[in-house]
Amino acid sequence: MSVDEAARKQPLTNIGTAGHVDHGKTTLVESLTGIWTAKHSEELKRGITLKIGYADATIYKCPKCPPPQAYYTNATAPRDLRCRYCGSPLEFVRKVSFVDVPGHEMLMSVMLSGAALMDGALLVIDASKKCPQPQTLEHFKALEIVGVRNVIVVQNKIDIVSKERALEIYKKALESNLVRGRSIESVMAAAVYAACRELKLPRTLDEIAMYTRAGRKDVARCYRLLLREASIKVPLPNAADFVPRIGSYLRLSGQTIKRAIEILEQARAAGLTAGKDPAGLAAAAIYIAALQNGEIRTQKEVARAAKVTEVTVRNRYKELVKKLGLKLPVKK
Protein backbone atom coordinates (compact mmCIF):
# COMPACT_ATOMS: atom_id res chain seq x y z
CA MET A 1 0.00 0.00 0.00
CA SER A 2 1.41 3.40 -0.99
CA VAL A 3 1.82 6.34 1.37
CA ASP A 4 -1.08 8.18 -0.33
CA GLU A 5 -3.40 5.18 -0.01
CA ALA A 6 -2.51 4.74 3.68
CA ALA A 7 -3.10 8.45 4.30
CA ARG A 8 -6.65 8.16 2.93
CA LYS A 9 -7.53 5.40 5.40
CA GLN A 10 -9.63 6.47 8.37
CA PRO A 11 -8.44 5.53 11.89
CA LEU A 12 -10.78 3.02 13.52
CA THR A 13 -9.07 2.84 16.93
CA ASN A 14 -8.40 5.57 19.51
CA ILE A 15 -5.31 5.15 21.68
CA GLY A 16 -5.07 7.52 24.62
CA THR A 17 -2.23 8.67 26.85
CA ALA A 18 -2.30 8.74 30.64
CA GLY A 19 0.16 9.54 33.39
CA HIS A 20 1.58 12.19 35.67
CA VAL A 21 2.33 15.71 34.43
CA ASP A 22 5.67 16.15 32.63
CA HIS A 23 6.27 12.43 32.17
CA GLY A 24 6.49 12.82 28.38
CA LYS A 25 3.03 11.91 27.06
CA THR A 26 2.94 14.59 24.35
CA THR A 27 6.56 13.92 23.40
CA LEU A 28 5.78 10.22 23.04
CA VAL A 29 2.84 10.98 20.75
CA GLU A 30 5.06 13.25 18.66
CA SER A 31 7.67 10.48 18.35
CA LEU A 32 5.02 8.07 17.08
CA THR A 33 3.07 10.44 14.83
CA GLY A 34 5.37 13.35 14.03
CA ILE A 35 2.70 15.75 15.36
CA TRP A 36 3.02 17.96 18.45
CA THR A 37 -0.53 17.90 19.86
CA ALA A 38 -0.17 20.85 22.28
CA LYS A 39 -0.94 23.57 19.75
CA HIS A 40 -2.84 26.21 21.74
CA SER A 41 -1.01 29.44 22.53
CA GLU A 42 -1.29 29.01 26.30
CA GLU A 43 0.04 25.45 26.04
CA LEU A 44 3.04 26.61 24.05
CA LYS A 45 3.63 29.48 26.45
CA ARG A 46 3.47 27.37 29.65
CA GLY A 47 4.99 24.19 28.22
CA ILE A 48 2.24 21.84 29.46
CA THR A 49 -0.82 20.19 27.91
CA LEU A 50 -4.09 21.92 28.87
CA LYS A 51 -6.59 20.52 26.36
CA ILE A 52 -7.18 17.24 24.57
CA GLY A 53 -4.91 16.83 21.57
CA TYR A 54 -5.31 14.52 18.56
CA ALA A 55 -2.87 12.97 16.10
CA ASP A 56 -3.18 10.11 13.59
CA ALA A 57 -0.51 7.50 12.89
CA THR A 58 -0.18 4.77 10.26
CA ILE A 59 1.34 1.50 11.51
CA TYR A 60 3.54 -0.65 9.27
CA LYS A 61 5.18 -4.04 9.81
CA CYS A 62 8.20 -5.78 8.30
CA PRO A 63 7.14 -9.29 7.20
CA LYS A 64 10.57 -10.80 7.96
CA CYS A 65 11.89 -9.19 11.16
CA PRO A 66 10.74 -10.27 14.64
CA PRO A 67 8.88 -7.84 16.93
CA PRO A 68 9.39 -5.23 18.22
CA GLN A 69 11.86 -4.12 15.53
CA ALA A 70 9.40 -5.20 12.83
CA TYR A 71 6.99 -2.35 13.63
CA TYR A 72 7.08 1.24 12.38
CA THR A 73 4.79 4.25 12.21
CA ASN A 74 4.66 6.86 9.46
CA ALA A 75 6.93 9.03 11.63
CA THR A 76 9.57 6.34 12.29
CA ALA A 77 9.57 4.45 8.98
CA PRO A 78 12.24 5.23 6.35
CA ARG A 79 11.09 7.32 3.42
CA ASP A 80 11.18 4.37 1.02
CA LEU A 81 8.98 2.29 3.39
CA ARG A 82 11.60 -0.44 3.60
CA CYS A 83 12.79 -2.09 6.82
CA ARG A 84 15.96 -0.46 8.11
CA TYR A 85 17.25 -3.85 9.29
CA CYS A 86 16.62 -6.20 6.36
CA GLY A 87 15.43 -3.89 3.56
CA SER A 88 12.09 -5.66 3.02
CA PRO A 89 9.07 -3.59 1.91
CA LEU A 90 6.90 -2.65 4.89
CA GLU A 91 3.28 -3.82 5.00
CA PHE A 92 0.36 -1.62 6.05
CA VAL A 93 -1.24 -2.81 9.32
CA ARG A 94 -3.73 -0.16 10.38
CA LYS A 95 -4.28 3.51 11.06
CA VAL A 96 -4.93 4.71 14.61
CA SER A 97 -5.74 8.01 16.29
CA PHE A 98 -3.92 9.15 19.45
CA VAL A 99 -5.81 11.07 22.14
CA ASP A 100 -3.37 13.08 24.25
CA VAL A 101 -4.68 14.28 27.62
CA PRO A 102 -3.22 16.66 30.25
CA GLY A 103 -1.57 15.22 33.36
CA HIS A 104 -2.00 18.10 35.80
CA GLU A 105 -4.16 17.37 38.86
CA MET A 106 -6.35 20.45 38.22
CA LEU A 107 -7.22 19.16 34.72
CA MET A 108 -8.59 15.78 35.77
CA SER A 109 -12.01 16.55 34.25
CA VAL A 110 -10.35 17.11 30.86
CA MET A 111 -8.55 13.79 31.23
CA LEU A 112 -11.83 12.00 31.98
CA SER A 113 -13.42 13.53 28.88
CA GLY A 114 -10.55 12.21 26.77
CA ALA A 115 -10.67 8.79 28.45
CA ALA A 116 -14.26 8.37 27.29
CA LEU A 117 -12.96 8.28 23.70
CA MET A 118 -10.22 5.69 24.29
CA ASP A 119 -10.24 2.08 23.09
CA GLY A 120 -6.84 1.54 24.69
CA ALA A 121 -4.24 3.63 26.51
CA LEU A 122 -0.52 4.17 27.01
CA LEU A 123 0.20 4.74 30.71
CA VAL A 124 3.41 6.77 30.59
CA ILE A 125 5.83 6.58 33.53
CA ASP A 126 9.00 8.65 33.89
CA ALA A 127 11.81 6.14 34.58
CA SER A 128 13.95 8.83 36.21
CA LYS A 129 11.40 9.57 38.98
CA LYS A 130 9.87 7.69 41.88
CA CYS A 131 6.87 5.57 40.92
CA PRO A 132 3.96 5.87 41.27
CA GLN A 133 3.44 9.63 41.13
CA PRO A 134 0.02 11.00 42.29
CA GLN A 135 -1.49 11.48 38.82
CA THR A 136 -0.14 8.12 37.67
CA LEU A 137 -2.44 6.45 40.20
CA GLU A 138 -5.37 8.78 39.50
CA HIS A 139 -5.16 8.28 35.74
CA PHE A 140 -4.90 4.51 36.14
CA LYS A 141 -8.04 4.50 38.33
CA ALA A 142 -9.80 6.78 35.84
CA LEU A 143 -9.07 4.35 32.98
CA GLU A 144 -10.43 1.53 35.13
CA ILE A 145 -13.62 3.45 35.94
CA VAL A 146 -14.23 4.43 32.29
CA GLY A 147 -13.74 0.80 31.26
CA VAL A 148 -10.47 0.99 29.31
CA ARG A 149 -9.07 -2.52 29.64
CA ASN A 150 -6.27 -2.46 27.07
CA VAL A 151 -3.49 -0.55 28.82
CA ILE A 152 0.22 -0.66 28.00
CA VAL A 153 2.68 0.75 30.54
CA VAL A 154 5.36 2.82 28.77
CA GLN A 155 8.53 3.54 30.72
CA ASN A 156 9.75 6.84 29.30
CA LYS A 157 13.11 8.63 29.57
CA ILE A 158 15.07 5.40 30.09
CA ASP A 159 17.86 6.89 27.96
CA ILE A 160 18.53 9.46 30.68
CA VAL A 161 21.76 8.60 32.44
CA SER A 162 21.19 7.25 35.93
CA LYS A 163 21.67 10.12 38.34
CA GLU A 164 22.81 7.64 40.97
CA ARG A 165 25.52 6.20 38.71
CA ALA A 166 26.82 9.65 37.76
CA LEU A 167 26.92 10.60 41.46
CA GLU A 168 28.65 7.34 42.28
CA ILE A 169 31.41 8.13 39.77
CA TYR A 170 31.68 11.67 41.15
CA LYS A 171 31.99 10.22 44.68
CA LYS A 172 34.92 8.13 43.49
CA ALA A 173 36.50 11.29 42.15
CA LEU A 174 36.07 12.92 45.58
CA GLU A 175 37.61 9.93 47.31
CA SER A 176 40.57 10.06 44.92
CA ASN A 177 41.09 13.81 45.63
CA LEU A 178 40.55 14.61 41.95
CA VAL A 179 38.21 17.52 42.65
CA ARG A 180 40.75 19.51 44.64
CA GLY A 181 42.00 22.42 42.52
CA ARG A 182 39.60 21.63 39.67
CA SER A 183 36.20 22.84 38.58
CA ILE A 184 33.45 20.83 40.28
CA GLU A 185 31.29 21.42 37.21
CA SER A 186 33.92 19.87 34.90
CA VAL A 187 34.42 16.82 37.13
CA MET A 188 30.64 16.29 37.31
CA ALA A 189 30.35 16.60 33.51
CA ALA A 190 33.17 14.07 33.15
CA ALA A 191 31.27 11.71 35.49
CA VAL A 192 28.11 12.06 33.35
CA TYR A 193 30.13 11.32 30.20
CA ALA A 194 31.68 8.24 31.88
CA ALA A 195 28.17 7.03 32.83
CA CYS A 196 27.06 7.49 29.19
CA ARG A 197 30.01 5.42 28.03
CA GLU A 198 29.23 2.69 30.55
CA LEU A 199 25.61 2.50 29.37
CA LYS A 200 26.72 2.71 25.71
CA LEU A 201 24.63 5.81 25.09
CA PRO A 202 25.86 7.56 21.90
CA ARG A 203 26.72 10.94 23.40
CA THR A 204 29.88 12.85 22.53
CA LEU A 205 32.07 14.77 24.92
CA ASP A 206 31.19 17.97 23.04
CA GLU A 207 27.45 17.43 23.64
CA ILE A 208 28.00 17.20 27.40
CA ALA A 209 30.69 19.89 27.63
CA MET A 210 28.43 22.45 25.94
CA TYR A 211 26.38 22.63 29.15
CA THR A 212 29.39 23.67 31.24
CA ARG A 213 31.19 26.98 31.50
CA ALA A 214 34.65 25.39 31.51
CA GLY A 215 34.51 23.95 28.01
CA ARG A 216 35.45 20.70 26.32
CA LYS A 217 39.18 20.80 27.04
CA ASP A 218 38.74 20.96 30.81
CA VAL A 219 36.02 18.27 30.85
CA ALA A 220 38.21 15.98 28.71
CA ARG A 221 41.11 16.45 31.12
CA CYS A 222 38.90 15.55 34.09
CA TYR A 223 37.54 12.52 32.22
CA ARG A 224 41.05 11.20 31.59
CA LEU A 225 41.85 11.69 35.28
CA LEU A 226 38.74 9.73 36.25
CA LEU A 227 39.82 6.80 34.13
CA ARG A 228 43.36 6.86 35.41
CA GLU A 229 43.03 7.74 39.09
CA ALA A 230 39.52 6.56 40.05
CA SER A 231 39.74 3.18 38.28
CA ILE A 232 36.62 3.86 36.17
CA LYS A 233 36.38 1.30 33.36
CA VAL A 234 34.36 2.10 30.25
CA PRO A 235 33.95 0.13 27.00
CA LEU A 236 35.66 1.36 23.86
CA PRO A 237 33.38 3.62 21.78
CA ASN A 238 31.83 2.05 18.70
CA ALA A 239 31.10 4.31 15.75
CA ALA A 240 28.30 1.98 14.62
CA ASP A 241 26.31 2.91 17.75
CA PHE A 242 25.99 6.48 16.41
CA VAL A 243 24.70 5.48 12.94
CA PRO A 244 20.99 4.79 13.73
CA ARG A 245 20.69 8.06 15.64
CA ILE A 246 22.25 10.13 12.82
CA GLY A 247 20.35 8.25 10.12
CA SER A 248 17.04 8.71 11.93
CA TYR A 249 17.66 12.46 12.26
CA LEU A 250 18.35 12.69 8.51
CA ARG A 251 15.32 10.44 7.68
CA LEU A 252 17.47 7.99 5.72
CA SER A 253 16.30 4.57 4.56
CA GLY A 254 17.15 1.30 6.26
CA GLN A 255 19.34 0.32 3.31
CA THR A 256 21.48 3.43 3.74
CA ILE A 257 21.85 2.92 7.50
CA LYS A 258 22.77 -0.73 6.92
CA ARG A 259 25.35 0.30 4.28
CA ALA A 260 26.90 2.87 6.64
CA ILE A 261 27.39 0.17 9.30
CA GLU A 262 28.99 -2.09 6.68
CA ILE A 263 31.43 0.70 5.76
CA LEU A 264 32.38 1.12 9.43
CA GLU A 265 32.95 -2.63 9.75
CA GLN A 266 35.30 -2.47 6.76
CA ALA A 267 37.09 0.50 8.32
CA ARG A 268 37.47 -1.33 11.64
CA ALA A 269 38.87 -4.43 9.91
CA ALA A 270 41.35 -2.20 8.07
CA GLY A 271 42.45 -0.54 11.31
CA LEU A 272 41.14 2.90 10.36
CA THR A 273 38.95 3.51 13.43
CA ALA A 274 41.57 3.44 16.20
CA GLY A 275 41.98 6.83 17.85
CA LYS A 276 39.29 8.46 15.73
CA ASP A 277 36.19 10.26 17.00
CA PRO A 278 33.35 7.69 16.63
CA ALA A 279 30.75 10.36 15.84
CA GLY A 280 32.96 11.74 13.06
CA LEU A 281 33.49 8.28 11.59
CA ALA A 282 29.77 7.51 11.76
CA ALA A 283 28.97 10.83 10.05
CA ALA A 284 31.42 10.11 7.23
CA ALA A 285 30.04 6.60 6.73
CA ILE A 286 26.48 7.97 6.64
CA TYR A 287 27.53 10.61 4.09
CA ILE A 288 29.15 7.97 1.82
CA ALA A 289 26.25 5.50 2.14
CA ALA A 290 23.74 8.23 1.33
CA LEU A 291 25.69 9.17 -1.80
CA GLN A 292 25.90 5.54 -2.93
CA ASN A 293 22.16 4.97 -2.42
CA GLY A 294 21.06 8.23 -4.03
CA GLU A 295 19.79 9.78 -0.77
CA ILE A 296 22.10 12.74 -1.02
CA ARG A 297 22.65 14.85 2.09
CA THR A 298 25.09 17.75 2.31
CA GLN A 299 28.14 17.59 4.56
CA LYS A 300 26.64 20.45 6.53
CA GLU A 301 23.41 18.49 7.17
CA VAL A 302 25.32 15.37 8.22
CA ALA A 303 27.67 17.36 10.46
CA ARG A 304 24.70 19.02 12.19
CA ALA A 305 23.01 15.65 12.76
CA ALA A 306 26.20 14.10 14.19
CA LYS A 307 27.13 17.24 16.14
CA VAL A 308 30.60 17.39 14.59
CA THR A 309 32.23 19.92 12.28
CA GLU A 310 32.01 19.88 8.49
CA VAL A 311 35.82 19.63 8.39
CA THR A 312 35.64 16.39 10.42
CA VAL A 313 33.07 14.90 8.03
CA ARG A 314 35.11 15.94 4.99
CA ASN A 315 38.43 14.60 6.32
CA ARG A 316 37.00 11.26 7.48
CA TYR A 317 35.01 10.90 4.27
CA LYS A 318 38.10 11.39 2.08
CA GLU A 319 40.12 8.99 4.22
CA LEU A 320 37.51 6.22 4.09
CA VAL A 321 36.94 6.56 0.34
CA LYS A 322 40.67 6.50 -0.41
CA LYS A 323 41.82 3.72 1.93
CA LEU A 324 38.82 1.44 1.45
CA GLY A 325 38.63 2.01 -2.30
CA LEU A 326 34.95 2.94 -2.15
CA LYS A 327 33.20 3.81 -5.38
CA LEU A 328 30.96 6.85 -5.50
CA PRO A 329 28.49 7.93 -8.21
CA VAL A 330 29.93 10.34 -10.74
CA LYS A 331 28.47 13.84 -10.51
CA LYS A 332 26.74 14.90 -13.71
CB 13 within 8 A of CB 119: yes
Architecture of the domain delimited by 239-324: Orthogonal Bundle (1.10)
Q: Do 163-229 and 239-324 agree at the fold level?
A: yes
| % the chain with pLDDT above 70 | 92
What is the length of the chain?
332
Q: Which of 122-126, 198-202, 223-227 has the highest mean pLDDT?
A: 122-126
pLDDT given for residue 6 in this prediction: 59
**Beta-strand runs (E) in 2-43:** 13-18
| % the chain with pLDDT above 90 | 23
pLDDT given for residue 158 in this prediction: 66
Give the pLDDT confidence of 110-146 residue by residue, as tens digits.
888 888 889 999 999 887 677 778 888 889 888 888 8
Please give the Cα distance from 314 to 26 (Å, whole number).
38
What's the rounded mean pLDDT across residues 52-68?
A: 90
Please give the Cα distance from 278 to 218 (Å, whole number).
20
- Domain coordinates of the chain in residue numbers? 9-156, 163-229, 239-324
| Chain centroid to CA 130 | 23
Please give the Cα distance from 290 to 101 (Å, whole number).
39
| Whether residue 2 has pLDDT greater than 60 | no
**Beta-strand runs (E) in the chain:** 13-18, 53-61, 71-73, 91-100, 120-126, 150-156
**Pick from 214, 207, 198, 129: nearest CA to 166:** 198
Query: Which of the four CATH numbers 3.40.50.300, 3.30.420.40, 3.30.70.660, 3.30.300.30 does domain 9-156 have?
Result: 3.40.50.300
| Whether residue 1 has pLDDT greater than 60 | no
Indicate the fold that domain 163-229 takes in CATH: Cyclin A; domain 1 (1.10.472)
